[in-house]
Amino acid sequence: MSYQITVQPSGRQFAAEPDETLLDAALRQGLTLPYGCKDGACGACKGKVVEGAVDHGKAQPHALKDDEKAAGLTLYCCAKAQSDLVIECKQVGSTRDIPVKTLPGRIEKLEKLAPDVIELHLRLPASERLQFWAGQYIDIQMKDGRKRSFSLANAPHDDAVLQLHIRHVPGGAFTEQVFSTMKLRDILRFNGPHGSFYLREDSAKPVILLAGGTGFAPIKAIVEHAIAENCQRPLHIYWGAKARVDLYQHALPERWAAEHAHITYVPVLSGPAPDDGWTGRTGFVHHAVLADFPDLSGYQVYACGSPAMIDSAKRDLVERCGLPAEEFFADAFTFAAN
C-alpha cells in the first residue's frame, strides 16, 4: 500500500511506499526537493507536515529537536509516511536553488566502454549527497590546481554514485591518468554542480536530444530523469559517432525506445568501419534531424558535443527548420590545453 503525498505550495503529488523516506520517494519520481546529507544530520531537508502522520526515522536530535517535531516539522530524508500527507516544501526550481559543493569521491568503478571511453563511478561519502539537475556537470580538481569538467551521466534520483563518461585525450593531463595509473579506491575531489544544460520542465514541447560522442552522457541523465518522472513529452534521441564501436552504450537507448512509446532513437555514423556491417544512417548527426524534422517551430532541442557540432546544428536547425533560437540549449565539450 502506498500513500499519496501532496507538496504545497506547488500542488505536485507523488506516491510513497511505507518503507521509503519521503525524499527517496520524491527523487524516485523526479521531484527535486532541497536536501543535503541525506542522513538526518544537516537539516537541509527540514519541512512541515501540514496533514497526516509520519515516522521521523533516524533524524538526529541536533538536526530535528523535540519542539520542532511538536510543531509539525520533520526531515524528509528520514521521515516515512504513515498516512496520506500534505507537506510544505519549496521544490528546487532553478540552478540558483542548488548549492555548489566541493566534495571527495572514491573511485568505485573503472569500466572501458570503448577503446577510448571509460565509465568512472565516484562513490560519495555516506553523509553527503550532491543535488543536481540532470544534464549538469562537475569540475574534477587536479592536484596542481587545474580542473577538468565532465557531465554527470546519472539521473539525480540515483545519486549515491556519480557516473562520468571520460574520453581519452592523448597527452591530456587528466585523461592520461584515468587510462593508465588511476585505480579503484583512489580519491578525487570535485566541485559542482555547474551548468544550465537541463530539461526545461515548464514546457510541454516535444524534444530533440542531439548527442555527439561522449555528449551522450548528459543526454542519458536527462532521459533517465524524464523516465523516472513519468514525463510523456516525445523524446527523439539522435546519437552521432564515427564508427559502431563509438556508440558505446547503443543497447541502452534501444531499450528506452522499445519500452516507451514516446521515445525514439536514431544512431548516426559519420565513418563506419568496413567490418561494422552498418546499415543505419550515416553522415553528420544533425543532418539526420534536418531530414526527419523539416519544421521544428514547435520543438525544443538539447545538443551536447563538440563546439563545431553545436555551432552547425544551431545554425542549420534555426535557419532551415524554423527552430526558435531560444529553444536551442547546448553544452559544448572542449578539451583543455595542458
* Stretch(es) of the chain classified as CATH 2.40.30.10: 98-194
Distance of alpha carbon 38 from alpha carbon 274, whole angstroms: 50
Look at residue 224 and give its three-state secondary structure: helix
176-214 pLDDT, tens digit per residue, is 999 999 999 999 999 999 888 899 988 999 999 999 999
In 276-331, alpha helices (H):
285-292, 307-321
pLDDT at 32 over 50: yes
95-113 pLDDT, tens digit per residue, is 567 889 999 999 999 999 9
Mean pLDDT of the chain: 92
Given CA atoms 69, 71, 75, 79 in this order, what sign does their dihedral have?
positive
Could you give the C-alpha distances from 142 to 107, 189, 208, 238, in angstroms and in order?
A: 15, 8, 35, 33
User: Residue 337: which pLDDT band, with cuts at 50, 70 and 90?
Assistant: very low
Q: What per-residue confidence (pLDDT) applies to 94?
A: 56
* Stretch(es) of the chain classified as CATH 3.10.20.30: 3-91
CB environment 269-297: b (16+ within 10 A), e (fewer): beebeeeeeeeebeebbbbbbeeebeebe
Query: Residue 5: which of 74, 98, 108, 97 has the closest Cα?
Result: 74
Share of the chain above pLDDT 90, in %: 75
Distance of alpha carbon 338 from alpha carbon 60, whole angstroms: 46
Distance of alpha carbon 25 from alpha carbon 12, whole angstroms: 13
Could you give the C-alpha distances from 55 to 66, 141, 337, in angstroms and in order?
A: 13, 40, 53
Q: What per-residue confidence (pLDDT) applies to 126?
A: 86
Distance of alpha carbon 173 from alpha carbon 119, whole angstroms: 18
- Class of the CATH-defined domain 207-332: alpha beta
Neighbours of 196 (CB within 10 A): 13
All residues at 6 or more sequence positions from 70 whose CB lies less than 8 Å from its CB, including other chains: none
Amino acid at 170: P
Amino acid at 239: W
Cβ proximity of 233 and 175 under 8 Å: no
- Which of the pair, 100 or 117, is modelled with greater confidence? 117
pTM value is 0.80
**CATH superfamily, domain at 98-194:** Translation factors (2.40.30.10)
* Stretch(es) of the chain classified as CATH 3.40.50.80: 207-332
Cβ proximity of 218 and 333 under 8 Å: no
Could you give the C-alpha distances from 90 to 10, 78, 87, 250, 256, in angstroms and in order?
A: 8, 18, 10, 38, 31
What's the CATH number for 3-91? 3.10.20.30
